[in-house]
Homo-oligomer: A and B are copies of this chain.
Amino acid sequence: MITRQRTNWLKMLFIWKGSVINKIIVQLIVIAVLSLITLYFKGKIYDYKVHLNPTIFTLIGLALAIFMGFCNTASYDRYWEGRKLWGALVIESRSLTRQVLTLINDPSPEGKKSKEDFIKMIAAFCWSLNYQLRNKSGTEHLSRLLSAEQVDYLRDKRHIPVIILDFIGEWVSKQAKKNHIDTIVLASIDNRLNQFSQIVGGCERISNTPLPFAYSVLLHRTVYFYCFWLPFGLVDSLGWMMPLIVLLISYTFIALDAIIQEIGEPFGEEENDLALNTICRTIEYSIFEQAQIPQEDYKPTNSYFVD
């Protein structure tokens, strides 16, 4: 994710990093060359003049507006829902930590140690969800937070966050059997675990069900036909300004097409994707702070890009 602030209006016009130009530079060059050739031949292919008046673009533009408006909104909704789910993970982690710290009645040193293990399991849960969504194995990384047997048990499993959630559930159930909590508090904590379950399920839903493929194809085609025909359509009325105008208009549409593609899969590691690692670090820092578990100082990054 790019966390850059909007700067001076003039500088914003010439920013490279964070705009998607590096992803679409090839296409833009192709269009620029095509424009220059069209300008040179005055829109003729051999002797056949290509008749394309600007009105045609209003008609195609209608289709484009419908597709782009829709796909953009749908993609951003996926992005924002993903963000909400991870925001909910922050919230629920803290609530569960607070509940465990204040509602579980076990002042013995083992109790304190056990609670710390529990809170590390929450952190492990967050990291494992992160790894699953980004298709990384990551079990070795979890050894920092889980016991050796737990890591061992997880090794050949497919739905690791779900299994860790079962660990958490067992821990809570054990506390109930030891009478450190009564059933009502148990039910209340269990309710929180269902929230975690919902977060896993929600993220999987976004990750496994892309925007229907037919939309992507249709949008992509309409955008490119539109842009490749623009030079022929504008060559007569704009003269030497044509390549510049074509390039700008193409830039806006092709860039939006690229952004839609990136934003629609919000759990990746590209420039406009969610900063899952940062969120995981925040959760870990925050719940360790609540439980007073010793940890390294928090060092903010200086870079514009957080992953």
Contacts and interface: CB of A to CB of B under 8 A. Distances in A.
Interface of A: 1-4, 6, 9, 12-13, 15, 18-20, 27, 48-70, 72-74, 76, 79-80, 83-84, 87-88, 90-92, 94-95, 98-99, 101-103, 105, 157-159, 162-163, 165-166, 169-170, 172-173, 177, 182-188, 190-194, 197-198, 200-202, 204-205, 209-210, 212-218, 220-222, 224-225, 234, 237-241, 245, 248-249, 252-253, 255-256, 259, 261-263, 271-272, 274, 285-286, 289-290, 298
A177 B180 CA distance: 12
B214 A271 contact: yes
Copies of the protein in its oligomer: 5
B169 A98 contact: yes
A166 B96 CA distance: 11
A248 B61 CA distance: 12
A183 B186 contact: no
Classify the secondary structure of A's interface with B: helix
Contacts of A59: 54, 57-58, 61, 249
Contacts of A182: 183
Given A20-B214, A74-B80, A187-B187, 6 more contacts: A6-B216, A65-B66, A91-B201, A95-B198, A105-B177, A212-B259
A202 B261 CA distance: 26
